[in-house]
Amino acid sequence: MKIARLAAGVGVVAAGALVLAGCGNPYESEVVEGTEITVAYNSGFFHFNDDSSAGNNTANGNVKYMTDTSFGYYNNTPEFVHREEFGSFEKTSDDPLTVEYTITADAVWSDGVPIDEADMLLQWAAMSGNVDEAFSPAATTGYNLVTAIPATEDKKITLVYDEPYVDWELVGMLGVSAHGTYALAFPDEYSDVQAAYDTWMSSGEEGDFTAYSDAAKSFAETAKQSVVDAITDGDAETLAALGDAWSNAYGYTTLPDSPAAALTSGAYVVEDIVEDQYITIAANPLYTWGPSPKFERITVRTIADSTTALQALESGELDIWTGQPTADILQIAEGISNAEVQTGVQASHEHVDLTVNNGGPFDPATYGGDEETALMVRQAFLKTIPRQEIVDRIIAPLNPDATVRNTNLVSQADGARYDELVATNGSDAYAEVDIDGAKQLLADAGVTTPVEVGFWYPEGNVRRGQEYELIAASAALAGFQLVDESEPDWVFTDPSAEPVNPHDAVVFAWSQTSTAIGGSDQIYACYDDPMAKGGNYNGYCNEDVSQSLLTLNTTSEEDAQTELLIEAEAGIWADAVTIPIYQFPGLLVSSDQVSEVKAMPLSPDYFWNFWEWTPVEGE
């Protein structure tokens, strides 16, 4: 099977070359034939739709960033850059806020099917939450303010907002393909395309790729129209099938049998996947609507252990690595003679969340619905978390200027606004570990010890393993007995697998992907339906906090924004459901075989300029 895929990959290049030769497009490929680069990330790819709740993970997002096209991206300043080669968007009215998106390029999916208004309409339908509950997006902010079905024309869509959305420029209007999603929802109708694809996969011949592409284009004409009709007519049966496919059919850890599950709109196509080991993407020969990459292939290896990754880089098996380093890892990196080391501060922050709806120690239901008792237990636990010790022992050796982070909604980089929130949010109650205070809270609550707490962290992550040990030791002094529930797969973030988080406490980071003002409602707002919980994995609900954050999404005046942030921040701390620990220190290491690798504070981290990575010729 792998041999067939490699042969098929050669066929793609050849067929694509024939297609491009006659198109008259001024685009010139800069792909260097035969070049490959191997990079690494600390967790593996497992879902092709990173807009869905199940796929909302940085490891998936990194791959999707390199295989997808969008209307804009962030550089490492960071500032938002419009992708004018692909398309444009503009605000045509302030009242009501109206935004038009137009695809200006002759852009196609990796099967040759044009990228058009049907794909953008599906993105709105899936992300808005206003069409069918079968769609399970990771976030709806912005999209949900467009309740009227958008008008579409040839390669154009118009969004009319019910309220003015402060971050309207950051709404992404392209995700997975409309015809591919339809094929996954109704595979019987896709059988002719599947047969043509299977033939091409077996032969790798140029003509068989053309036959597959022609079959895909024929199928897409009907499929795209069916998607548009289902959305505009409210066809519940079709929408339910589309929603299920959009949410669930893109999850896989080996190369899927159906090409519909891996259609790309950008510079690379998916070539091979080995579960828990790597994913390889290859240059897309049909791609002409953006900057050309230089490497023909990129393999993203899954390497959880930082030492192993750096050993691979030193030996020449790896070219780029970033991770969650310790002081020892920084020392190893700086000792590699054939590597460049870049350090900084990332726009991600570590935090611990407490689950309030799983029948565990932090859930009021455990105490007969007594909210106050559950609150006191949560407060007691948070008082035991040794935040300063974690920073001093694990983070300060990497960033001597590191301090404990004391806000949930903004970072230290926000300056005066950060200081205002800290002064009023109640974080001072947790400024230091307070074992006596924690014991007293448990006694006042009438809760006997030990209190068992199931604690999750990503298995194999050394830094978080160290954090767990420090937290467990401190919490034990107050009567909390932590149970190690680490596993590598982040199952609790997938609502289809775990509608309710089974872990009582979890430690991970929120990775900031933009400079948006709003969007925090996706983490801290109330969700009645666990299948639409966004990033609210701990069942948290405070109506006042929700309202403040929802209002923030439509508030443009800075002082009013600050007041709303102050209100929401204070409410979150008062409920003792989460606690921030530190801002991530950044460590990026690259070999001398590749140039133009540049650190980036926002996610997708160093992948942000993958098209600029350039192979270095040997002497």
List the domain boundaries for the chain: 2-27+66-245, 346-583
Q: How far apart are CA 260 and CA 48, in angstroms?
A: 11
Name the burial class of residue 79, with classes exposed (0-12), middle (13-18) and buried (19+) by CB atoms within 10 angstroms of its CB: exposed
Structure tokens, 343: 């350090």
With H, G, I as helix, E, B as strand and everything else as coil, classify residue 362.
Answer: coil
Q: Is 603 exposed, middle or buried (0-12, 13-18, 19+ CB in 10 A)?
A: buried
The two structure tokens encoding residue 358: 């799983």
Q: How far is residue 582 from each of residues 127, 234, 387, 412, measured CA to CA in Å?
A: 31, 46, 8, 10
Alpha-carbon distance 463 to 304, whole Å?
11
Q: How many residues appear in the chain? A: 619
Spatial separation of the C-alpha atoms in residues 121 and 119, rounded to whole Å = 5
Fold: same for 2-27+66-245 and 346-583: no
Q: In the chain, count of helices (H) and strands (E)?
A: 17, 18
CATH, domain range 2-27+66-245: 3.90.76.10
Q: How many CA atoms lie within 13 A of 248 on its CB side?
A: 13
Nearest to 231 by CA among 77, 120, 369: 120
| Bond before 450 cis per omega within 30 degrees | yes
Residue 426: which of 570, 254, 221, 252 has the closest Cα? 570
- Please list, in sequence order, all residues whose beta carbon lies within 8 angstroms of the beta carbon of residue 601, skipping any fewer than 6 positions away: 76, 78, 344, 345, 346, 347, 512, 586
Can you tell me the distance from the alpha carbon of 530 to that of 537, in angstroms, rounded to the nearest whole number? 9
CA end-to-end span of the chain, whole Å? 37
Instruction: Note every long-range contact of 215-221, with CB atoms under 8 Å and residues 24 or more positions apart, other chains counting.
Output: 216/111, 216/112, 216/113, 216/179, 216/259, 217/111, 217/112, 217/113, 219/179, 219/183, 219/189, 219/190, 219/192, 219/193, 220/113, 220/114, 220/179
User: HEC states along 458-505?
Assistant: ECCCHHHHHHHHHHHHHHHCCCEEEEECCECCCHHHCCCCCCCCCCCE
Residues of the chain with pLDDT under 70: 1-25, 527-533, 618-619
CB 54, CB 490: distance < 8 Å: no
Bond from prior residue into 96 cis (ω within 30 degrees of 0): yes
Check residue 392 and report its DSSP letter.
I
Q: Using an 8 Å Cβ cutoff, are 447 and 362 in contact? A: no
Alpha helices (H) in 173-282, listed in sequence order: 178-185, 191-203, 206-233, 236-248
> What are 209-260's pLDDT values in tens digits?
999 999 999 999 999 999 999 999 999 999 999 999 999 999 999 999 999 9
Q: Is the dihedral of CA 251, 257, 260, 264 positive or negative?
A: positive
Is residue 177 within 8 Å of residue 123, measured between CB atoms?
A: no
Return d(Cα 487, Cα 14) in angstroms, integer. 43
Q: In what order do the strands lie in the sheet with 87-94?
A: 87-94, 97-103, 156-160, 151-153
**Amino acid in the structure at residue 449:** T
Contacts of 499 (CB under 8 A, 6+ apart): 530, 531
Q: Which residue has the tokens 């230290």?
A: 412
* Residues 400, 405, 410, 415, CA torsion sign: negative
At 22 the pLDDT is 31
Q: Residue 587 in contact with residue 415, Cβ under 8 Å?
A: no
Q: pTM value?
A: 0.86
Structural contact between residues 137 and 51, judged by C-beta atoms closer than 8 angstroms: yes
CATH topology of domain 346-583: Dipeptide-binding Protein; domain 3 (3.10.105)
371 membership: H or E segment, kind and range: helix 371-384
